[in-house]
Amino acid sequence: MSVLIARLVPGFAGSARPGGRSLSLAAAGLALLMVLSAATAVAPTPALAASTIAARCDGVSLRARPSSTSRLYRTLKAGTKVVAVAKVSGSRWSVRCGGVSSSGSSWYRLTSINGRSVKSLYGVSYVYGAAALFKSVITPVALETACSGVSLRTAAKTSATRKVRLAAGTLVTGYGTVTGGAWSTTCAGKALSGTSWRRITHVNGKSVKTLYGVSYLYAAKGLFRAAPDASSPETKPTPTPAPTPDTGYTEGIDISHWQGTIDWTKVAAAGKRFAFMKASEDIDYIDPTYTTNRAKAKANGLYVGAYHFARPSNATGDAVAEADHFVDTAMPVSGELLPVLDLEDDGALSVAALQTWVRDFLGRLYVRTGLRAAIYVSPGFWSKYMGNTGWFAANGYTTLWIAHWEPAAGVPTLPASNWGGLGWTFWQYTSGGTVPGISGRVDLDRYRSGDFTPVLIP
């Protein structure tokens, strides 16, 4: 032990020599304890590959060392993305984040904040944050079924209710994987088994909330493969006939990456005068086609607008984080259509909680842009998950984009007492339209006027 202390604490061994520097045993013991504590504070647990994670709530502290008493560099807003390169053990912390209290001694070692290196920001190689204050960033991926008969179920187990069986080549969006019940099957001639399940949010470009009334469906992970290039005609769903457009309305479309490469010259020549396009989803997803579609549609004389696909959550600050992500991605400018909140997922929130989430999102967007955004929703969703509230129509959110496909009466059903007597502004009247310049199905929309001034950003 004295040899170890001598190596760790210079001068201790010399204290026994005549005329040597004296160090008491108590002091040596204290010095050793400090050295060992410092070593423990940065002892790494199993290394991580560099991965992007996000702050769970507002006020997440980033410090110089994995210690709650070390220098504080900054606090993060909910949804701020950082890059973690390791998880290390440090001093113990106790926090409350997103309504949940937790404690521990694990810290993330971070090298980047919102795409900027810690080195360039603060002149240090790393900063540290308590592990419980972060969550994984899940990026949606485009997949297709590898064989026929792929079951989508309400939970990650074979005994859960099956909502649909998909044909081979059906396009879906996977939103991460989960561990669930064991499964065993044969697909494309291969015997497969496992306990990993894909969490599915879209089928052929339509949310499972709209199609089946649930936020997610689940399917055995081994039954999918990466989707081919979305611009390939063979990956597109078979088009279905669309209603003949009524006169007196202005015709347009709404699109996302599901439409692949678009010939906007042909779209304009077909008489489409406006296009809404997906810009973002949740706190991190960016539609890869947004920038290109926005520029080319405008170049061909169409009015363009951006929409955000909402992923409501009860995490503290989630609505604000999603609104910030939308504004930062869409970058709305004068002359474009009003930005849109696309509301199709209730996030398993109560009616009151979802109403609050929507108010917080729209309020944050107003603070950032000065704009009262449009709301895209179906009459059934608004009635069931938003309690058919008339608050939004009565408080400045007058632009309703209603999604009601091919109604029997020939006109859309409207929630919230005909949207406070204001009626619809945009109407998505079919998901099965065909338009020159676009391969496969596309949503068709109408604007109830020929004068776009009321719905343009000043």
Mean pLDDT of 300-312: 97
Pick from 267, 268, 279: nearest CA to 309: 279
| pLDDT computed for residue 48 by the predictor | 52
| pLDDT computed for residue 177 by the predictor | 81
| pLDDT computed for residue 49 by the predictor | 54
Mean pLDDT of 420-441: 94
Given a cut of 70, is residue 237 above it in pLDDT?
no
Active-site residue (options: 254, 281, 346, 443) = 254
- Helix (H) / strand (E) element for 351: namely helix 351-369
What is the per-residue burial (b if ≥16 Cβ within 10 Å, else e) of 307-326? Answer: bbbbbbbbbbbbbbbbbbbb
Pick from 400, 347, 344: nearest CA to 206: 344
Beta bridge partners of 142: 173
Active-site residue (options: 281, 287, 324, 342) = 342
Q: pLDDT band at 68, cuts 50/70/90? A: very high
Spatial contact of 320 and 362, defined as CB atoms under 8 Å apart: no
Given a cut of 90, is residue 359 above it in pLDDT?
yes
Query: The tokens 């991460």 sit on which residue?
Result: 176
| pLDDT computed for residue 259 by the predictor | 93
Whether 344 is catalytic: yes
Helix (H, G, I), strand (E, B) or coil at 381: helix
Encode pLDDT of 69-107 as tens digits: 999 999 998 878 888 888 899 999 998 887 778 899 999
Beta bridge partners of 290: none
| pLDDT computed for residue 30 by the predictor | 43
Active-site residue (options: 282, 318, 344, 443) = 344
Mean pLDDT of 357-386: 95
What distance in Å separates the CA atoms of residue 311 and residue 330, rounded to the nearest whole number?
17
Mean pLDDT of 261-290: 95
Please tell me the pTM assigned to this model. Answer: 0.54
| pLDDT computed for residue 406 by the predictor | 81
Whether 254 is catalytic: yes
Q: pLDDT band at 252, cuts 50/70/90? A: very high
Given a cut of 80, is residue 152 above it in pLDDT?
yes
What distance in Å separates the CA atoms of residue 387 and residue 355, rounded to the nearest whole number?
8
